[in-house]
């Protein structure tokens, strides 16, 4: 195998392995030693690809963000109700994340250098919040006059924490769909009758 092919295969293996470990164990509980061991490489080999854990974490979140931004933009293009669009967005997020994304990024950033923390928040804003804002902005159903599309997108993402705590324990797709629909109803219509 060519040297650049070996580099790319190893690079991708590190990204996939680290992504699985970060999503399962969290940022704080995942070390570069854990990642190197799970990827069957040495720690110096990992550092050849990524200068530190923060850079690796940022790259993983950027890749996931690009994937989800594309999915959200595709959902936005579909002519559907805002509720159905948010249900589709939720399903797209659930296929990638095993935990609450908003808390996951915020908790992880607490361990990071200021420059890397800012990069992580740019990713959250550019790949998640802005695409979600466009869904709220283009809805046929107007937002409450005191709620901006940015606040609505933030509220939607924060509300998903309720879902992430139980969704992966549900056994059937029907149960999962019912819980997502119930949450989207509360997000959009509140809890009062």
Query: For position 170, what pLDDT does the model report?
Result: 62
Output the pLDDT for position 50.
96
Q: How big is the chain by its Cα radius of gyration, in Å?
A: 18
| pLDDT for position 56 | 97
pLDDT at residue 115, rounded to an integer: 96
Structure tokens at 12: 């991708």
Rounded CA-CA distance 91/146 in Å is 28
CB 60 within 8 A of CB 109: no
Any residues with CB less than 8 A from the CB of 69 and at least 6 apart, and which? 126, 127, 128, 131
Contacts of 35 (CB under 8 A, 6+ apart): 14, 17, 18, 21, 46, 53, 56
**Domains (range + CATH), the chain:** 1-50 (1.10.10.60), 54-189 (1.10.357)
CA distance 152 to 134: 10
In sequence order, which ranges of the chain are alpha helices (DSSP H)?
Answer: 3-25, 32-38, 43-49, 53-77, 82-96, 101-109, 114-123, 130-137, 149-164, 173-189
Q: Among residues 61, 65, 71, which one has the least CA distance to residue 15?
A: 61
For the chain, percent of residues with pLDDT exceeding 90: 65
pLDDT of residue 175: 85
Enumerate residue ranges in the chain where pLDDT < 50.
none
Q: Residue 83: which of 25, 26, 169, 156 has the closest Cα?
A: 156
Residue 122 CA from chain centroid, whole number: 13
């Amino acid at each position: 195998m060519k040297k650049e092919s070996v580099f790319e295969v190893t690079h991708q293996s590190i990204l996939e392995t680290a992504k699985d470990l970060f999503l399962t164990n969290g940022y704080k509980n995942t070390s570069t030693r854990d990642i190197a061991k799970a990827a069957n490489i040495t720690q110096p080999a990992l550092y050849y690809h990524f200068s530190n854990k923060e850079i690796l974490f940022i790259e993983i979140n950027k890749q996931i963000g690009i994937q989800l931004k594309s999915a959200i933009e595709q959902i936005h293009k579909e002519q559907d109700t805002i509720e159905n669009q948010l249900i589709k967005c939720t399903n797209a997020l659930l296929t990638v994340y095993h935990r609450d994304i908003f808390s996951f990024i915020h908790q992880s950033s607490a361990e990071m250098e200021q420059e890397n923390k800012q990069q992580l928040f740019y990713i959250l804003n550019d790949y998640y919040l802005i695409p979600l804002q466009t869904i709220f902005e283009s809805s046929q159903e107007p937002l409450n006059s005191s709620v901006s599309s940015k606040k609505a997108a933030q509220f939607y993402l924060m509300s998903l924490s309720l879902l992430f705590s139980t969704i992966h324990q549900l056994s059937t797709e029907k149960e999962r769909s019912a819980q997502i629909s119930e949450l989207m109803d509360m997000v959009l219509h509140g809890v009062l009758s």
